Amino acid sequence: MPPIAAVVVTYNRKELLLECIEHLRAQELPRAIDTGAPADCASQLGILVVDNASTDGTREALEPLIDAGVIDYRNTGANLGGAGGFNYGLREAVKAGYDYCWVMDDDCMAHPDSLQGLIDAHRRLGGNYGYLSSVVRWKDGSICKMNVQRHPLMHNIEDFSRPLQPCTLASFVSLFVPSRIIRELGLPIKDFFIWTDDWEFTRRISRVHPCYVVGESVVTHASANNGAGTIIDDVPERLDRYRLVYRNDVVLYRGEGPVGYGYLLARGMGHIYRVLRHSPDHKLKKIGIIVSSNIAGLRFKPPIEFVDGEGD
């Protein structure tokens, strides 16, 4: 079997998913991960698609690829959210015997040399890293704001020209993780459902192992907008989703001790101020979500699951 699994989580975005798969199949690999010799894509890269029970005909659209053995298709049977989907997919990939997992959303479009850049970094480091993260650009070529990595914890990385840049937090838009690291430190927290699962997972790893952004590996995030909404200006129909953001972020930052709690307090107060100053409507509801969700996060203690079932 190939040594690398591209683990792609999808939900009701079959057109983007098909484009994502097409980009994966077009990887150019003049240097294989283990031998350094030229290799065809199929010999190095398997594609594991995790479908969060899509209802838009995703399974039917993928049938030719499934029948041809091009992809390994798994349906979770229910919408587990991004967090549950990545938990499921990484568990399945590691148990299947892949040595490395290349993690991405279904709107991540790899460039022809994206994987080669990660492989070259792996070989340069002698495998001594926790994860490698690609530079993520948006459709117009600018840096994708929602996927900017951090180092140190509270600071966005600004210089993406370096071949290897130390990294503390990264997203699930082109993340390369050895299976041994996943076995050692566990899977993404599925109880998050959405948001913060990638940052918590990558921070868990970066506490123990050196991690890097790879300047020579670039992908495009084909998201609708370059940026993420905030509770300050988002539409009323989406406000309840922010309960998960604030709750899950408490789990992430409390792991940093007093510094993390100080950051949460300062950020919460800052967001309340911005709601009062700049939000056009629903100010009381927004403030209530910020306060109640941070309190809920203090009580929220989701387990970390491991590949073979043991939990923490």
User: What pLDDT does residue 312 have?
Assistant: 59
Q: What is the pLDDT of residue 89?
A: 99
Closest CA to 144 of 233, 223, 249, 214: 223
Q: What are phi and psi of 87, to 5 degrees?
A: -60, -50
C-alpha–C-alpha distance, residues 306 and 271, integer Å = 35
Cis amide bond preceding 210, omega within 30: no
Task: Quote the tokens at residue 125.
Answer: 């480091």
Give Cβ neighbours of residue 63 (< 8 Å, ≥ 6 apart): none
Q: CATH code for 4-221?
A: 3.90.550.60
* Interacting residues of 255 by C-beta distance below 8 A, sequence separation 6+: 203, 204, 207
Contact 302, 195 (CB under 8 A): no
40 vs 116: CA distance, rounded Å: 12
The rounded distance, in Å, linking the Cα atoms of 305 and 23 is 31
Q: How is the chain split into domains, by residue range?
A: 4-221, 236-299
Q: State residue 309's pLDDT score.
A: 76
Task: Map residue 125 onto helix, strand or coil.
Answer: coil
Give strand pairing partners of 103: 7, 175
Distance, in Å, from the CA atom of 219 to the CA atom of 222, rounded to the nearest integer, reads 9
In the prediction, which pLDDT does 311 show?
A: 59
β-bridge partners, 156 = 150
Q: Long-range pairs for 160-163 at CB < 8 Å and ≥24 separation?
A: 160/135, 160/213, 160/215, 161/215, 162/213, 162/215, 163/121, 163/124, 163/214, 163/215, 163/216
Count of alpha carbons within 13 Å of 119, Cβ hemisphere only? Answer: 25
Asked whether the beta carbons of 74 and 51 are under 8 A apart, the reply is yes
Per-residue pLDDT of the chain (312 residues; tens, 9 = 90+): 999 999 999 999 999 999 999 999 999 999 999 999 999 999 999 999 999 999 999 999 999 999 999 999 999 999 999 999 999 999 999 999 999 999 999 999 999 999 999 999 999 999 999 999 999 999 999 999 999 999 998 899 999 999 999 999 999 999 999 999 999 999 999 999 999 999 999 999 999 999 999 999 999 999 999 987 899 988 899 999 999 999 999 999 999 999 999 999 999 999 999 999 999 999 999 999 999 999 999 999 999 999 987 655
Structure tokens at 216: 């020579």
pTM listed for this prediction: 0.96
